[in-house]
């Protein structure tokens, strides 16, 4: 008798939910849906939930929880090149959370509404005898037919990422006492990167027409690039030494080279990964300069399947299973 | 020192969330948002969550849970006169629920997708160390500017409801052993009304241009009509003996007149309540005939505030606080 194991999230989606997908849902492989909007536009729809103890640490300040909730959703809109418009909010809150918590949560929402130019479109609230459970359904706009999908990478494309990788996973390691960082500014930087993702909306919007395929990195670079490759029917080769690391992340890797795995599989980066033809590299560099968000070429798309990571010596590196369920 | 009490849901919305509302969110008083759609159309957006132990009984069959989840959202679209299009789904499931539960849940979704002509647009799934927590964000279409709001009832309107009231609350009472019903068919009918709301989509769509104001009854007739009156700045007077009751509900009320409160404040009816000028009563009767859904005039809108219920003797009746948190 064959051993059985629980289905992973992607297997569950494929088996139980993909058969239910509406035409605009892109077979549920793109993490967003597209529906017709006003003339010349489409709406991009996305929903993402966060649960206390899984996606954020118990005791996290409520304004940070609110901001993370919004930003993980906005990050998906960024990856399609969309302009965010608004969101629906569902809260299931333990009864012991009082009005002070709610006031802090609403303040976090208000702050990010101002930052990102979005508004609350509606919601529902429940009591729950369990962990804080929150979800947002976000809606954005994109020029009709111009959303950048996951399924359209082509052999010969270069692979790029925005920002720096691994910071959030290292920040979580600091919070959990698994990583000691002496320098207070470096420690704060890493923790902040864990608490407050920076949805790359401006670069995402500028990449419409330049990028062939794009997604945001939430489960870890290798895992998410794997999703992009699967959806596109291509392979990717990444050169580990090209991974963009912040100074605090470089310091951690210098101390123990195994922390490089934070950049490859740590998750919670909420940076964009995209493929684009070599011919647009100059335009990509220009948008990086104009938006102030670094963009780095880290590898290439090839025919085949899967993601390979090459070390400094050019030999393939093993990357552990993506750590997107952290604690 | 004044006694303090926890804020109710409506007070929480007013204090913390209404200031965050986007222009299309109708001040969060209408439970839906409207955004521009393709030419001549608007989209209606709605989100509603259900939590095990609050909105459905532990142990409820997963296909019924799925159907209730969809239908409570579709009922809100019905109350705006919208045609449903699709939905986003968020599941937070305890790890002990296996694939059999998920297969049943997906089967329930599939059944109702076929019934209502909708599709799954995307979703997110989490594990939770707590009760089954589910939410849907539903999207529907309505002719631009034609959605029936809560805030537009006028003195002189008649108040109507679709279907029959109180069945679901009585069905829950049967399931909880608070009400004994001898007749098996009557018992099954009431329980079915609790498990499977019937979103009144066809009547709702036909009421565009006839109804002045409309909502669906989820918290109980008096509570929800109170929301409609508050939003419109009017009062309502209901005649208790006009309330439409099913034969099983009539039998329960005959046995103990206090069960009339199930129709006034029981909740989970998911019938439409609307106000319309007396001049359209014939058109309302016609749509009832054509859709097969009874529509009953139960009172009228007046100048003033609040909802009064008149008993058979014409004297005001006291109605207990809506029982929308049942157990």
Q: Does residue A280 form part of some domain?
A: yes
Q: Does residue A171 form part of some domain?
A: yes
Name every chain A residue with its beta carbon within 8 A of the beta carbon of B103: 16
Total domains in the fold of chain B: 2
Neighbours of A223 (CB within 10 A): 20
pLDDT given at position A142? 98
Q: DSSP strand E in B247-289: where?
A: 272-276
Query: Minimal Cα–Cα distance from A25 to chain B, Å?
Result: 5
Q: Does residue A22 form part of some domain?
A: no
Residue corresponding to tokens 């990050």: A75
Q: Does residue B9 form part of some domain?
A: no
pLDDT given at position A112? 98
Residue B89 pLDDT grade (very low, low, confident, very high; cuts 50, 70, 90): very high
pLDDT digits (tens, 9 = 90+) for B106-119: 999 999 999 999 99
pLDDT at B224 over 90: yes
Report the C-alpha gap between B317 and B305 in whole angstroms. 16
Instruction: Please name every residue paired with A295 in a beta bridge, in sequence order, or none if there are none.
Output: A162
Q: Is A182 exposed, middle or buried (0-12, 13-18, 19+ CB in 10 A)?
A: exposed
Residue B286 pLDDT grade (very low, low, confident, very high; cuts 50, 70, 90): very high
pLDDT given at position A5? 56
Report the C-alpha gap between A151 and B325 in whole angstroms. 45
Residue corresponding to tokens 């059985």: A4
Report the C-alpha gap between A45 and A219 in whole angstroms. 20
Contact B228, B160 (CB under 8 A): no
Report the C-alpha gap between B226 and A210 in whole angstroms. 54
Same domain, B136 and B263: no
Same domain, B305 and B177: yes
Q: List C-alpha distances in Å: B135 to A6, A43, A75, B89, B249.
A: 23, 21, 21, 6, 30
Residue A321 pLDDT grade (very low, low, confident, very high; cuts 50, 70, 90): low
Residue A268 pLDDT grade (very low, low, confident, very high; cuts 50, 70, 90): very high
Contact A246, A161 (CB under 8 A): no
Same domain, B214 and B111: no
pLDDT at A71 over 60: yes
Same domain, A299 and A167: yes
Same domain, B44 and B99: yes
Write down the mean pLDDT value for chain B: 93
Same domain, A116 and A224: no
Report the C-alpha gap between B264 and B280 in whole angstroms. 25
Same domain, B120 and B54: yes
pLDDT at B327 over 70: no
Most distant pair of Cα atoms in chain B: their distance: 59
DSSP-H helix ranges across chain A: 9-12, 62-78, 99-116, 167-175, 184-195, 201-206, 221-232, 247-255, 260-265, 281-291
Report the C-alpha gap between B82 and B80 in whole angstroms. 5
Same domain, A162 and A311: yes
pLDDT at A151 over 70: yes
Report the C-alpha gap between A7 and B125 in whole angstroms. 13
Same domain, A188 and A286: yes
Q: Does residue A202 form part of some domain?
A: yes
* DSSP category for residue B313: T
Q: List C-alpha distances in Å: A124 to B19, B20, B135, B265.
A: 16, 14, 9, 20
Same domain, A265 and A215: yes
Candidate from A6, A21, A119 with C-beta closest to B119: A21
CATH number at residue B108: 3.30.1330.10
End-to-end CA distance of chain A: 32
Lowest-confidence region among A3-17, B72-86, B211-225, B286-300: A3-17
Q: What is the mean pLDDT of residues A97-101?
A: 92
Q: Does residue A86 form part of some domain?
A: yes
Identify the domain boundary among B93, B113, B143.
B143
How big is chain A by its Cα radius of gyration, in Å?
19
Report the C-alpha gap between A303 and A154 in whole angstroms. 8
CATH number at residue A208: 3.90.650.10
Residue A59 pLDDT grade (very low, low, confident, very high; cuts 50, 70, 90): very high
Q: Which of B151, B320, B315 shows the shortest CA–CA distance to B234? A: B151
Identify the domain boundary among A119, A143, A167.
A143
Candidate from A7, A85, A120 with C-beta closest to B17: A120
pLDDT given at position A312? 85
Which has more confidence, A155 or A14?
A: A155
Candidate from B39, B99, B135 with C-beta closest to A7: B99
Residue B248 pLDDT grade (very low, low, confident, very high; cuts 50, 70, 90): very high
Q: Does residue A179 form part of some domain?
A: yes
Tokens of B167: 């069945």
pLDDT digits (tens, 9 = 90+) for A106-121: 999 999 999 999 999 9
pLDDT given at position B322? 46
Residue A318 pLDDT grade (very low, low, confident, very high; cuts 50, 70, 90): confident
Write down the mean pLDDT value for chain A: 93
Q: What is the mean pLDDT of residues B87-104?
A: 94
Beta-carbon pairs below 8 A across chains A and B: 214
State whether B128 and A130 contact (CB < 8 Å). yes
pLDDT digits (tens, 9 = 90+) for A197-235: 999 999 999 999 999 999 999 999 999 999 999 999 999
pLDDT given at position A11? 83
pLDDT at A3 over 50: no
Q: Return the H-helix or E-strand segment holding A136.
A: strand A133-143
Same domain, A171 and A278: yes
pLDDT given at position B163? 98
Q: Is B220 exposed, middle or buried (0-12, 13-18, 19+ CB in 10 A)?
A: buried
Name every chain B residue with its beta carbon within 8 A of the beta carbon of A7: 99
Identify the domain boundary among B111, B143, B175.
B143
State whether B126 and A49 contact (CB < 8 Å). yes
Residue B321 pLDDT grade (very low, low, confident, very high; cuts 50, 70, 90): low
State whether B37 and A36 contact (CB < 8 Å). yes
Same domain, B199 and B280: yes
Q: What is the mean pLDDT of residues B210-217?
A: 98
Range(s) of the domain holding residue A228: 158-317
Name every chain B residue with its beta carbon within 8 A of the beta carbon of A47: 88-90, 122-124, 137
pLDDT given at position B31? 82
Q: What is the mean pLDDT of residues B41-50?
A: 96
pLDDT digits (tens, 9 = 90+) for A273-287: 999 999 999 999 999
End-to-end CA distance of chain B: 32
Q: Does residue B12 form part of some domain?
A: no
Query: Minimal Cα–Cα distance from B282 to chain A, Å?
Result: 35
Residue A6 pLDDT grade (very low, low, confident, very high; cuts 50, 70, 90): low
Check: pTM over 0.80? Answer yes or no: yes
Q: List C-alpha distances in Å: B9 to A102, A160, B71, B327.
A: 12, 46, 22, 17
Q: Which of B112, B17, B115, B31 shows the shortest CA–CA distance to B76? A: B31
State whether B122 and A45 contact (CB < 8 Å). yes
State whether A28 and B120 contact (CB < 8 Å). yes
Between B247-255 and B184-195, two packed helices, what is the crossing angle to 10 degrees? 110
């Amino acid at each position: 008798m064959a051993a059985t194991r629980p289905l992973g999230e992607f297997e569950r989606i494929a088996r139980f939910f993909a058969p239910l997908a509406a035409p605009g849902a892109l077979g549920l492989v793109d993490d967003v849906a597209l529906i017709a909007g006003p003339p010349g536009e489409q709406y991009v729809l996305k929903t993402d939930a966060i649960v206390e103890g899984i996606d954020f640490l118990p005791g996290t300040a409520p304004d940070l929880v609110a901001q993370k909730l919004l930003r993980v959703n906005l990050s998906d809109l960024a990856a399609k090149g969309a302009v965010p418009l608004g969101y629906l909010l569902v809260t299931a809150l333990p009864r012991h959370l009082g009005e002070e918590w709610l006031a802090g949560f609403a303040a976090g929402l208000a702050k990010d509404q101002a930052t990102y130019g979005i508004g609350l479109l509606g919601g529902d609230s429940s009591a729950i005898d369990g962990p804080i459970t929150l979800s947002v359904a976000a809606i954005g706009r994109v020029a009709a037919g111009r959303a950048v999908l996951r399924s359209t990478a082509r052999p010969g494309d270069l692979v790029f990422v925005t920002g720096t990788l691994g910071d959030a996973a290292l920040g979580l390691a600091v919070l959990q006492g698994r990583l000691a960082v002496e320098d207070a500014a470096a420690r704060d930087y890493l923790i902040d990167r864990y608490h407050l993702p920076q949805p790359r909306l401006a670069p995402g919007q500028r990449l419409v027409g330049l990028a062939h395929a794009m997604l945001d990195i939430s489960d870890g670079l290798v895992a998410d690039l794997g999703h992009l490759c699967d959806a596109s029917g291509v392979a990717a080769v990444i050169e580990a030494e090209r991974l963009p690391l912040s100074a605090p992340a470089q310091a951690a890797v210098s101390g123990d080279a195994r922390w490089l795995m934070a950049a490859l599989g740590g998750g919670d980066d909420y940076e964009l990964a995209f493929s684009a033809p070599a011919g647009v590299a100059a335009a990509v560099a220009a948008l990086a300069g104009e938006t102030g968000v670094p963009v780095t070429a880290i590898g290439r798309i090839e025919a085949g399947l899967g993601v390979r990571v090459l070390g400094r010596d050019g030999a393939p590196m093993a990357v552990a299973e993506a750590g997107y369920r952290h604690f």
